[in-house]
Amino acid sequence: MIKVGIIGATGYAGNEIVRLLLEHKEAEIVWYGSRSYINKKYADIYQNFFKLVDAKCMDDNMEFLAEEADVIFTATPQGLCASLINEEILSKTKIIDLSADFRLKDVATYEKWYGIAHKAPQFIKEAVYGLCEINREQVKGARLVANPGCYPTCSTLSIYPLLKEGLIDPATIIIDAKSGTSGAGRGAKVDNLFCEVNENIKAYGVASHRHTPEIEEQLGYACGQKVLLNFTPHLIPMNRGILITAYASLTKKVSYEDVKAAYDKYYEKEAFVRVLEKDVCPQTKWVEGSNFVDVNFKIDERTGRVIMMGAMDNLVKGAAGQAVQNMNLMFGLKETEGLMKVPMCP
Amino acid sequence: MIKVGIIGATGYAGNEIVRLLLEHKEAEIVWYGSRSYINKKYADIYQNFFKLVDAKCMDDNMEFLAEEADVIFTATPQGLCASLINEEILSKTKIIDLSADFRLKDVATYEKWYGIAHKAPQFIKEAVYGLCEINREQVKGARLVANPGCYPTCSTLSIYPLLKEGLIDPATIIIDAKSGTSGAGRGAKVDNLFCEVNENIKAYGVASHRHTPEIEEQLGYACGQKVLLNFTPHLIPMNRGILITAYASLTKKVSYEDVKAAYDKYYEKEAFVRVLEKDVCPQTKWVEGSNFVDVNFKIDERTGRVIMMGAMDNLVKGAAGQAVQNMNLMFGLKETEGLMKVPMCP
Amino acid sequence: MIKVGIIGATGYAGNEIVRLLLEHKEAEIVWYGSRSYINKKYADIYQNFFKLVDAKCMDDNMEFLAEEADVIFTATPQGLCASLINEEILSKTKIIDLSADFRLKDVATYEKWYGIAHKAPQFIKEAVYGLCEINREQVKGARLVANPGCYPTCSTLSIYPLLKEGLIDPATIIIDAKSGTSGAGRGAKVDNLFCEVNENIKAYGVASHRHTPEIEEQLGYACGQKVLLNFTPHLIPMNRGILITAYASLTKKVSYEDVKAAYDKYYEKEAFVRVLEKDVCPQTKWVEGSNFVDVNFKIDERTGRVIMMGAMDNLVKGAAGQAVQNMNLMFGLKETEGLMKVPMCP
Amino acid sequence: MIKVGIIGATGYAGNEIVRLLLEHKEAEIVWYGSRSYINKKYADIYQNFFKLVDAKCMDDNMEFLAEEADVIFTATPQGLCASLINEEILSKTKIIDLSADFRLKDVATYEKWYGIAHKAPQFIKEAVYGLCEINREQVKGARLVANPGCYPTCSTLSIYPLLKEGLIDPATIIIDAKSGTSGAGRGAKVDNLFCEVNENIKAYGVASHRHTPEIEEQLGYACGQKVLLNFTPHLIPMNRGILITAYASLTKKVSYEDVKAAYDKYYEKEAFVRVLEKDVCPQTKWVEGSNFVDVNFKIDERTGRVIMMGAMDNLVKGAAGQAVQNMNLMFGLKETEGLMKVPMCP
């Protein structure tokens, strides 16, 4: 039984980690960390766990946790994980960091986009970017996994095969992203009130969203060159789900079958990436509550572009689910353990 | 492995049965019946099952099914199950009927409220009303289970202990119910279009909803006398969830502890009924996707009434989940098998 | 041109007063008071007013306002209006208070339910309860109007005629109310975040909501005796709208026409109360954005009760619209001026 | 008083025309045409008009209407208007067609994208494309106005100034559009049921949506050359609102002020187009219920692209409001008559 400590258990991602691990056969949660609710019963914060979780919220004592837990999930704001870890901790336990602290390999880029100094740059090189479908082998041996951002997960998986196969021009990539509101977190802000979000749609972080360099770095690995792209997220009046609509110019005339073959090459054996049938557009409701990413594409012969689409649940594959998938890999478990949830609809 | 046939697999309840059974260890679905989509791939109707279900939709051939399946779920409009079953079928297989055909013991009442002639009145007496928490033992031996309606499940469980213990006056019961829109089914009707339901609330079936006699019958058993009550359902702009707010006059001066003891007496050992802590109101989001019913109450000393509240997922405990719970009981499985889903929020 | 000052212009009710007055021919806003946003452009807080309102937010200087404005709307938390007014101010200007400070005639009741000491009890007697349809004549001559609460407006108008005509037993009244989330205000609270409200329904303030004594007082005037009733509000995942479902025992056997006649007696000539046709249930979407209250009823002969229903827009007839209606009456304008908005749907 | 006949009065656009005209001082509706509801009271179909509209629905007798009405609005499916009009009708009355029949100047393009034969190609040349801000003068003299599509209105207004001024490369335009569900109409389709749309987002009509050639034609006029672009609409779980996020490569290095000046050049004097302040992103809620289009832009120096954004209410400026604006122009009224609605929020 893997002992799991969670730091940041009362955010939406933390809450989702708990939901998944309660149904996971090989893991048990030993620590519900939440600075905001110390000593409060966890099930009083999230009543869905009434009679299912009896524990109280604890502080974020990582030294203690390093002794007690086999793995620590940090579902906390940027900067916290980097400020807490050190060699001693990493020598005793594994860490899956859901924040952005170890996602970018270039410190300067991190500090520029996030506006804070990096507290533990010495671990950046070691950290493995936990996009399981692409970095599976490295994840298996990692002590420190940087769990990918929600938008980068869906964007990268939607675009990766075509870029890797040289079918699209990296200089032409435009990603128009749409996310449910749980991605904005559980902080009490006017902008996220029901009446502000409901019956509304807006873009935000236009040309400045922090997930941009993360996507660019990952896609850069795919094509072997520096990638600059446009990424525009939008806030959608729904709880869960991310939809990516990405555009790029094709490098040559290709058929439906050519492009389909590229997707299949990378995803045919993947448990969690579903390449949909011809002309079926991904919809977030078909993946809700699950760890699936549904991808598909459409060639536009008139403009010479391909439209790439991806849908996933931002709290599962975009956060907690992928974190558990990484844990499974790191501990040599079946990769799908605890994650074969059937999407729930309506 | 229990072989399950589903008639009406493409309604919302049918779809939910499939979701639950795919994660059930002791059952497999051998028949996806759907008159409307014969020969279409089931996963083309519900894309959440893409790569999870390969089967095609079949007709509703109950004779054939009686041979092939250990149990048949009928998630179909009123009248269909009654028109299809006969002694030969019941001698070969078990039936869990999610329609209202066998819920009411009085044929005349059925025919009056549903406006159709009952096609198989000879089986009404045998049929067991599958409200597991109350009729557990009878369900275990049943061939034919009438799976309770969504409103009656939540209403009865919320009110039952107080009525059974004589704490409330049966003549004063008023049930104000609120349901998500999945309860209205997947039929293409203008009234259920997004733009008609969203940003709107209305009562419907006022003083005439068909679940009224079903609730009255069940509560009548609890107090040993005929019950007449008011039941008013409302349509809420959300997908899932039922909330019951019920009112009744207390028969005597009681304390919080007295009433709490009544609920605990009946539900303390129940896996799926959670009596909440003092002053915590049930909310549908805390049970979404799960088989739980959360109940609680508030005494109003000013008026001498008690307000009883219950929340559940109409598609799970209100339909598919309770059906699977009945199946588990009928086949001697662990009652919670396949049903210990953690509620999903947000 | 009536000069209007608004204190609390950046709440949802304040914002709605601005919307209505911008299209009002006889009034102009001279003061956008908002303690939280002093010196910020009003249209920066509510971008709907971009290019329509150029003013900046001001402090809540009531002395100054008394000189400058013909009428002051206070759309502020309980206690503020009472703490600011005095005889000098009332001698110079009129006040329409949207808070609860002057709604209850009994100070002790106010202090018990609101938990604060009343700062200006000397004006309670003078204040007119601004439910225009019932207190029209008194409003015309008032200096200080207590604008009714949202729930009390809809509840009282739905029940008043039957109680006044002696058709229902006051001891049996139960009001089950449902409100859109704008009623909860624009404060940044976790409970009102999109992800907490969406896909959810709950009761709140059960047996303890502050609007209870207000409704009881008003209905008490109708039947000439003290009324105690149950009032249970619910939070609905929609922006606007209140629906009231009220229950009471009939005092005698009555026909549809009898009850209809009672409603017509009081509302036939009213511009803003619409008694719907037989069997049509009020829906909030049919009144959205307008000052209408739609009411109707259903007799249940089985139980001897009548179900009374009312729907209105909580921000219009439940707050800003009724405040403007009161202003029209107080200044001798046409009562409907600026208020004949056609409901907007979908 | 202008006499207005509406053909297709019971669709969402028709319903919105009625709402707007009821508050219009110079127009009265003399004909509520609706083939589906002949002889039914209009207010029975749309209860918001209860006590406001007494008329019954009529057939679509255009000959009769040509005699009786000064202008006919056709809010009907593609093909109907073209099949009904002729020279005699146009000699007697004016027509504002909300369908696509007269929007495209090239018959072949129409027939290819809409898949039907054009029934009245002889009037295509005469028809004026009623995008008031761009074709104001032609509209004033028109007998037949093709009211623009919802997506083309918002897309064209968002992009037009930059293209006209040569600031962007027409070959690089990508439009990612998001629409509320009222754009899908009031037909009873499973895809538009509440439970299918709520908690979901999807793209549709990818690389094949019929509004593509309409946008291309209009933008082609702006830059004087043939334009091919990508247009991808998405269905959003909200009732009203369209948001356009458009991307294009800048033709040269420009400053914020340069681009702002281009927008101001075309829109500074426009009543209904609001160029927002720097860094403010358009949101659909800020224009809901109004005829405004809010536009803004963001330069991305990293990629050399500009992101152009526009938000409007699809039923007002995207349909009924623009139709009334066209009517005002055609009859020499003040262009804003009946249209200066303040956006309603929340």
Which of helix, strand or coil describes residue C247? strand
| Cα–Cα distance measured from residue A290 to residue B341, given in angstroms and rounded to the nearest whole number | 13
In Å, how far is B314's CA from the nearest CA of chain D? 13
Closest CA to D324 of D313, D312, D338, D311: D338
Interface confidence, given as ipTM, is: 0.97
| Cα–Cα distance measured from residue B280 to residue A221, given in angstroms and rounded to the nearest whole number | 51
Single out the catalytic residue among B81, B150, B154, B223: B150
Closest-CA residue of B relative to A183 is B346
Q: Which residues of B touch D239 (CB under 8 A)?
A: 194-195, 198-199
A60: pLDDT strictly greater than 90? no
Percent residues over pLDDT 70 in chain B: 100
Please name the residues in contact with C206: beta carbons below 8 A apart, sequence gap of 6 or more: B281, B298, B307, B309, C232
Which of helix, strand or coil describes residue A168? strand
Query: What is the model's pLDDT at position C60?
Result: 87
The neighbouring-strand residues paired with D208 are none
CB contact under 8 A, D194 and B196: yes
Q: What is the mean pLDDT of residues C152-174?
A: 98
Question: What is the tens place of the pLDDT at every residue in B178-210?
Answer: 999 999 999 999 999 999 999 999 999 999 999
Q: Which of D10, D36, D193 to mutate to test the interface with B (most CBs of B within 10 A)?
A: D193
Query: What is the model's pLDDT at position D43?
Result: 98
Residues C218 and C149: beta-carbon distance below 8 Å:
no
Closest partner residue to B189 (CB to CB) among D181, D188, D196 is D188
Give partners of D (≥3 CB pairs < 8 A). Answer: A, B, C
Query: What is the model's pLDDT at position D60?
Result: 87
Q: For residue B46, what pLDDT band results from cuts at 50, 70 and 90?
A: very high
Query: What is the model's pLDDT at position B60?
Result: 87
Instruction: Look up residue B318 and give its two tokens.
Output: 């209100």
**Averaged pLDDT score across all residues of chain B:** 97
C223: pLDDT strictly greater than 90? yes
- pTM of the predicted model, to two decimals? 0.98
B128 burial class (0-12, 13-18, 19+ CB within 10 angstroms)?
buried
Closest CA to C290 of B197, D19, D185, D25: D19
In Å, how far is B280's CA from the nearest CA of chain C? 9
Question: How many residue contacts between A and C have a Cβ separation below 8 Å?
Answer: 56
Closest-CA residue of B relative to A316 is B344
Cis peptide bond N-terminal to C346, omega within 30: yes
Query: What is the model's pLDDT at position D255?
Result: 98
Query: What is the model's pLDDT at position C224?
Result: 97
Instruction: Look up residue B244 and give its two tokens.
Output: 């019951």
Q: What is the mean pLDDT of residues C133-158?
A: 98
Query: What is the model's pLDDT at position C200?
Result: 98
Question: pLDDT in tens for each of the 346 residues of chain D?
Answer: 999 999 999 999 999 999 999 999 999 999 999 999 999 999 999 999 999 999 999 998 899 999 999 999 999 999 999 999 999 999 999 999 999 999 999 999 999 999 999 999 999 999 999 999 999 999 999 999 999 999 999 999 999 999 999 999 999 999 999 999 999 999 999 999 999 999 999 999 999 999 999 999 999 999 999 999 999 999 999 999 999 999 999 999 999 999 999 999 999 999 999 999 999 999 999 999 999 999 999 999 999 999 999 999 999 999 999 999 999 999 999 999 999 999 999 9
CB contact under 8 A, A194 and C192: yes
Query: What is the model's pLDDT at position C107?
Result: 97
Instruction: Look up residue C137 and give its two tokens.
Output: 């004549």
Closest-CA residue of B relative to A14 is B345
Closest partner residue to B228 (CB to CB) among C178, C282, C303 is C303
Closest CA to D344 of C16, A64, C53: C16
Residues of C in CB contact (< 8 Å) with D are 12, 15, 18-19, 22-23, 46-52, 182, 199, 239-240, 274, 276-277, 280, 283, 285-290, 294, 340-346
Please name the residues in contact with B6: beta carbons below 8 A apart, sequence gap of 6 or more: B14, B17, B18, B29, B31, B32, B33, B72, B73, B75
Residues B177 and B157: beta-carbon distance below 8 Å:
no
**Averaged pLDDT score across all residues of chain C:** 97
Single out the catalytic residue among A57, A81, A132, A150: A150
Active site residue D81: no
A60 burial class (0-12, 13-18, 19+ CB within 10 angstroms)?
buried
Q: Which residues of A touch D247 (CB under 8 A)?
A: 174, 176, 230, 247
Write b or e for each residue in A232-271: b if 16 or more Cβ atoms lie within 10 A of its Cβ, otherwise e. Answer: bbbbbbbbbbbbbbbbbebeeebeeeebbebbeebbeebb
Please name the residues in contact with C106: beta carbons below 8 A apart, sequence gap of 6 or more: C217
Q: In what helix (H) or strand (E) does residue A17 lie, and over which residues does it extend? A: helix A12-22
Write b or e for each residue in A328-345: b if 16 or more Cβ atoms lie within 10 A of its Cβ, otherwise e. Answer: bbbeebebebbbbbbbbb
| Cα–Cα distance measured from residue B206 to residue C130, given in angstroms and rounded to the nearest whole number | 32
**Better-scored residue on pLDDT, B231 or B61:** B231
CB contact under 8 A, B50 and A294: yes
B294: pLDDT strictly greater than 90? yes
Residue type, C259: V
Question: What is the tens place of the pLDDT at every residue in A191-225?
Answer: 999 999 999 999 999 999 999 999 999 999 999 99
Which of helix, strand or coil describes residue B119? coil
Instruction: Look up residue B17 and give its two tokens.
Output: 């049965």
Closest-CA residue of D relative to C276 is D50
**Better-scored residue on pLDDT, A237 or A60:** A237
Percent residues over pLDDT 90 in chain C: 99
Alpha helices, H only, A165-271: 194-197, 211-223, 256-267
